[in-house]
A and B are shown apart, each in its own frame.
Chain A
């Protein structure tokens, strides 16, 4: 059972709430759950559903209660699990009275039937009719949850009448929400800030991201492993040492006690090796020439490769054999390997093809087939 307020010990710190995607989304919770969510002790106005911080919600339901004032509508919305008040502010649509008298519209008939003033009036009327609902109509509301006078309310940031003559929208909603709960809301949020001692898989993931960011920032075209080695330094837990703090871990220093297991240097090299392998598998980098000298090309900035692929496709698209269907990706791959480098992988080629397609240099005619004009 939910308590009126969260136990402060259980509540995740507010700094980490942004890490939960549900916090930034309009959560499609059942009204029943919205009504019993516990309020945060750190920040009033934020609520918790199973440790997910909730700020704003999205509700679809039947209007069963209506109260109108000058400034707002208050609709009681029933979604089948609970009823909640939704405060829907009237915007300027309702405040402005139409100034033009209806007689003025007839004079513009000569303009060929399109009268801007009349159309605007119609638009405004339609907008108004979407906001004014009667009991029994279907309302969609999105907005933050507030508790006022002991009652939970939704302060609508968006609300509109839903036309649902054959209940398609309601049925879809009823099928979707349990899935959302199972996949998202009922799963505990991953709010732990990344700390040292993570599993090896995620460390390699972080390493590849660091290297990719480096490529982007410095517009790297080619590199050798030692160029990026130092970037991965922060990912390696430092060994305890007696020397001063600004000495690199790799430099041998007299340590108080010998530490078993791989040294920081070895860990770094191993991590680098794994990261480079992942990047090669993804096609982000490739080795144009396999030699003693370990030089990697960054696919995104390799203009020679780009031109080679473009030329292959352009020339072969002219041939009768490929004119209609386009060139298959494997054909392009073997041609590029002959022309440019034997070490171009399919993954690398796919990245190049994607960027060429984005630039409209080539067009894909069907799955895995490409052509140029």
Chain B
């Protein structure tokens, strides 16, 4: 009944294969284009001097007011299709323009390193 929790991922992780089909994710990016007829939006993010794009299927979150160039946060499931790569089927699409992307990245990394720390201490505890 309740959907799976959407874990934060970075846009460059979506297409690199780090996320599995069906996984629920939360991703941020700048809206670069929107095709309402096909319900397709594209988010983009810069990382290591490369531009990474994420395709978003927006059927469930329409109608929404697309602001090209604004930062968005998408929450949804990964779908992998032949020739298209990974697409996020959005359940939530929020405009968060003005977000401090660097700070957000820091926060995501902070949370991740905390969870890794926890895994390690619990592994140590179980091993003893």
Contacts and interface: CB of A to CB of B under 8 A. Distances in A.
Contacts of B114: 178, 181-182
A138 B105 CA distance: 19
A178 B111 CA distance: 7
Contacts of A174: 107-108, 110-111
Given A136-B93, A166-B97, A175 B107 contact: yes
Contacts, number: 77
A64 B98 CA distance: 23
Interface string A149-190: 000000000000000011110110011011001100000000
Contact of A167 (B3, B75, B96, B106): B96
B6 A78 contact: yes
Contacts of B104: 167, 171
Interface in B60-80: 61, 73, 75
B100 A166 contact: yes
A85 interface: yes
Question: From DSSP, what is the main secondary structure of chain A's interface residues?
Answer: mixed
B2 A76 contact: yes
Contacts of A175: 106-107, 110
B2 A85 contact: yes
A146 B49 CA distance: 49
Interface residues of B, number: 29
Contacts of A31: 5
A205 to B, nearest CB: 32
Contact of B96 (A32, A78, A85, A165): A165
B8 interface: yes
A136 B75 contact: yes
Given A64-B91, A64-B92, A165-B98, A171 B107 contact: yes
Contacts of B26: 80
Contacts of A65: 1-3
Interface string A69-87: 0000000101111111100
A372 to B, nearest CB: 47
Nearest to A65: B2
B23 to A, nearest CB: 13
A92 B97 CA distance: 36
Contact of A81 (B5, B96, B98): B5
A151 to B, nearest CB: 9
Interface residues of A, number: 28
Contacts of B7: 80-81
A175 B107 CA distance: 5
Interface in B6-50: 6-8, 26
B97 A64 contact: no
Nearest to A78: B5
Contact of B6 (A80, A165, A166, A181): A80
Given A80-B8, A80-B26, A174-B108, A166 B2 contact: no
A346 B96 CA distance: 54
A184 to B, nearest CB: 13
A135 interface: yes
A296 B25 CA distance: 68
Q: Count chain B CB atoms within 10 A of each CB in A79, A84, A177, A178 and give the residue with the most.
A: A178
A40 interface: no
Interface of A: 31-32, 62, 64-65, 76, 78-85, 135-136, 165-168, 170-171, 174-175, 177-178, 181-182
Given A32-B5, A167-B99, A175-B107, 10 more contacts: A64-B2, A64-B3, A64-B92, A76-B2, A83-B4, A83-B5, A136-B75, A165-B97, A178-B110, A178-B111
The 9 closest A-B pairs by CB, nearest first: A178-B114, A136-B92, A174-B107, A166-B98, A167-B99, A171-B107, A83-B2, A76-B2, A166-B99
18 contacts: A64-B3, A65-B3, A78-B5, A80-B5, A80-B6, A80-B7, A83-B5, A135-B91, A136-B93, A165-B96, A166-B98, A167-B73, A167-B99, A170-B107, A171-B99, A171-B103, A171-B104, A181-B114
